[in-house]
Amino acid sequence: MTTTALPDDVAALIGVPQYEETGEFPVERGYIWTTCSSVENGNPLYWDDEVADALTDGPVAPPTMVSVWFRPHHWAPGRQKPALPLQVHFDLKERLGLPEAVMTENTIVFHEPVRPGDVLRTHQVLRSVSGEKTTKLGTGRFWVIDVEYRNQRDDLVAVESYTGFGYRRSAS
Amino acid sequence: MTVTAPRLLHGAVVVGDLLPVLRYDVTATTVVLGALASRDWRPMHHDKDFAVNRNGTRDIFLNTPNQAAWFERYLTDWSGPHGRLGRVTFRMQGSVFPGDTMELHGVVDEVAVDDTGCGWAGVDVTLQVAGDVKTTCRARLALPVDDDDNPWRRRGDRWKP
């Protein structure tokens, strides 16, 4: 199954924290409501302040939104090229010459609730890269990237693990 | 304040319980709204030409963060607002396109109380289209063990997701 060795410079990145960054904007309720609206989520915890006060001492964000707060603006003043979320994923695509990619598995473990006004920070860690494999999409490699999120008080908010598959489409 | 919303207690849940099925007709608006709500500007979630010609899919498709929001909504529709997610694992097996009717099905596969007294339900959720499983989600959800318990109050050593 494995046909090509992993380049040394890629292997050297495994386990190394990269791309420490702070969110571009504070957590805000507009996105919370837009997200709840997009999936018709009527949970009163997100719509009724009295419920939020009683359960969580004030508004919180749906836990699964944790990565939303780190997706960069599509454009920002002075930026020379589009910023990409989960940059390690895109670095691997480029370095390994794999133009297409999909995410195949995603685990998120939730800790301290995220609240409006929080400014989160994060870093990414490449955990593993497989040998070359062929699937129905094409030939490429699977990789696992962890993302750790903390708030401005240094409380752990979440740890997210992504499994991606970068590939070249099979000739048809 | 007394929260009057439904509250699913841990003791009311047993392994094998089925969650009510959620059906939803997916449109291009569903896909684009979900992508933009999750700040995912990648073209395969709003540009059909890109999705077809670059990704080799038949149309734009639901992005992963928005599917996560669908799963969360499905789980907390069942639990009520006291339910607190501890952990989710998604496995994407196929894409969900405009024109699809997606169905979410869930079954309880674990009921446990941890050493801090926190009540947990493990739920195996599948997102299906016409009987084909497109995404699976294994979730661990904290539920109150009695009327005085609130999983959201747990912090530090008392929260072991």
Half-sphere exposure of residue A35: CA atoms within 13 angstroms, side-chain side: 30
The Cα of A108 is separated from the nearest Cα of chain B by a number of Å equal to: 5
Question: Can you give the pTM of this predicted structure?
Answer: 0.88
Lowest pLDDT segment from A31-40, B8-17, B86-95 = B86-95
A49 touches chain B (CB under 8 A): no
Per the CB < 8 Å rule, is A62 touching B56? no
Question: Residue ranges per domain, chain B?
Answer: 10-151
The pLDDT of residue B133 is above 50: yes
Domain made up of A8-169: CATH architecture? Roll (3.10)
Question: Residue ranges per domain, chain A?
Answer: 8-169
The pLDDT of residue B154 is above 60: yes
Which chain B residues have a beta carbon less than 8 Å from that of A167?
Answer: none
Beta-strand runs (E) in B18-70 = 18-25
Convert the pLDDT of each residue in A87-146 to its tens digit. Answer: 899 999 999 999 999 888 889 999 999 999 999 999 999 999 999 999 988 999 999 999
Which chain A residues have a beta carbon less than 8 Å from that of B88?
Answer: 64, 107-108
Question: Apex CA A116: angle with CA A113 and CA A121, to 5°?
Answer: 70
A139 touches chain B (CB under 8 A): no
Which among B55, B66, B150 has CB closest to A100?
Answer: B55
Quickly state the pLDDT bin for A1 (edges 50, 70, 90): very low
**Can you tell me the distance from the alpha carbon of B116 to that of B159, in angstroms, rounded to the nearest whole number?**
8
Half-sphere exposure of residue B1: CA atoms within 13 angstroms, side-chain side: 14
**Can you tell me the distance from the alpha carbon of A36 to that of B38, in angstroms, rounded to the nearest whole number?**
10
Predicted pLDDT of residue B5: 76
Give which of B3, B7, B96 to mutate to test A binding, by max A Cβ within 10 Å: B3
Residue partners of B140: CB distance under 8 A and separation at least 6:
B85, B86, B87, B88, B110, B120, B121, B122, B123, B161
Tokens representing A107 are 């685990």
Which chain A residues have a beta carbon less than 8 Å from that of B2?
Answer: 54
The pLDDT of residue B47 is above 60: yes
Per the CB < 8 Å rule, is B161 touching A105? no
**Can you tell me the distance from the alpha carbon of B97 to that of B70, in angstroms, rounded to the nearest whole number?**
15
Closest chain A residue to the Cα of B63, Cα to Cα:
A103
Closest chain B residue to the Cα of A67, Cα to Cα:
B65
Which chain B residues have a beta carbon less than 8 Å from that of A51?
Answer: 1, 3, 5, 81
Per the CB < 8 Å rule, is A41 touching B72? yes
Predicted pLDDT of residue A172: 56
Half-sphere exposure of residue B123: CA atoms within 13 angstroms, side-chain side: 33
Nearest one of B135, B69, B80 to B105, comparing CA atoms: B135
Which among A43, A64, A102 has CB closest to B68?
Answer: A64
Quickly state the pLDDT bin for B16 (edges 50, 70, 90): very high
- For chain A, state the CA radius of gyration: 19
Per the CB < 8 Å rule, is B1 touching A112? no
B73 touches chain A (CB under 8 A): yes
CATH number for the domain whose boundaries are B10-151: 3.10.129.10
A44 touches chain B (CB under 8 A): yes
Percentage with pLDDT > 70 across chain B = 98
**Can you tell me the distance from the alpha carbon of A6 to that of A97, in angstroms, rounded to the nearest whole number?**
12
User: Which pairs from A75-83 meet CB under 8 Å and 24+ separation?
Assistant: A76/A24
The pLDDT of residue A33 is above 50: yes
Which chain A residues have a beta carbon less than 8 Å from that of B56?
Answer: 100, 137, 169
